[in-house]
Amino acid sequence: MPKLAPVVEVPSAGGLNDFESLVRQHRSRIFRFLIASLRDREAAENLTQDCFVRAFKARDQFRGGSTLGTWLMHIAANLVRDHEANSRLKFWRRKLRADLDPNDLSDWIPDQQKSPEALALAKEQVDAIWRAAANLSERQRTVFLLRFVEDMDLLEIATVTGMKEGTVKTHLFRAVQSVRLGLEERK
């Protein structure tokens, strides 16, 4: 599989003024993070739209201290935190999470050319990781998803979450330990 060239972003407010281009370039990444965080397709779709609306409304506040992608991910992480903090939705959130098919979340497995058996095994492994990650604290889950789903480095995660790099490392270490323990308990 050929390696794709990295996307080069020019951190300017001009990129924020072309709303359609901004959404087209970043929507899938934001949605992937939100659905992985919330495990609720409808909420992820709504918050994805919210993320871009908020970014567009606040486009004059973007200072270029990070890439547009990192800035958008910061907005998305704040939306997840706000959504999780809303206690009125706790009952419905549990209900929707129970109804979500983990196979929907594992469709991002990159090599679709594998045999059906290998794909089934990979989906089982992804499902086990999702179940283990669901038991993490909100901060640990956010750091874990940003690192391993979005492939962000520690400094980017610190920017997105507003945590110090050392705090990110601590949360990531604890999250990985918890996920490993969860996977070992399922064996």
Residues 72, 11: one domain?
Answer: yes
Query: Rounded to two decimals, what is the model's pTM?
Result: 0.59
Q: CATH no. for residue 118?
A: 1.10.10.10
Residues 14, 80: one domain?
Answer: yes
Residues 68, 9: one domain?
Answer: yes
Judging by beta carbons within 10 Å of its beta carbon (0-12, 13-18, 19+), is residue 24 exposed, middle or buried?
exposed
- Last residue within a domain, chosen from 69, 100, 131: 100
Helix (H, G, I), strand (E, B), or coil: what is residue 9? coil
Helix (H, G, I), strand (E, B), or coil: what is residue 134? coil
- The answer, yes or no, to whether residue 126 has pLDDT greater than 80, is no
Range of the structural domain that residue 119 is part of: 103-187
Residues 94, 131: one domain?
Answer: no
Residues 73, 154: one domain?
Answer: no
- Last residue within a domain, chosen from 63, 83, 100: 100
Nearest alpha carbon to residue 148 among 132, 163, 162 = 132
- The answer, yes or no, to whether residue 160 has pLDDT greater than 60, is yes
> What mean pLDDT do residues 158-179 have?
93
Residues 12, 65: one domain?
Answer: yes
* Model pLDDT, residue 118: 75
- The string of pLDDT tens digits covering residues 25-68 is 999 999 999 998 888 899 999 999 999 999 988 888 888 888 88
Number of domains in the chain: 2
- The answer, yes or no, to whether residue 139 has pLDDT greater than 60, is yes
Residues 96, 148: one domain?
Answer: no
Nearest alpha carbon to residue 80 among 146, 142, 27 = 142
* Model pLDDT, residue 15: 56
> What is the C-alpha separation between 9 and 53, in angstroms, rounded?
20
Residues 63, 77: one domain?
Answer: yes
Residues 96, 134: one domain?
Answer: no
Residues 69, 158: one domain?
Answer: no
* Model pLDDT, residue 184: 84
Q: CATH no. for residue 1?
A: 1.10.1740.10
Residues 78, 128: one domain?
Answer: no
Residues 186, 125: one domain?
Answer: yes
- Last residue within a domain, chosen from 74, 100, 126: 100
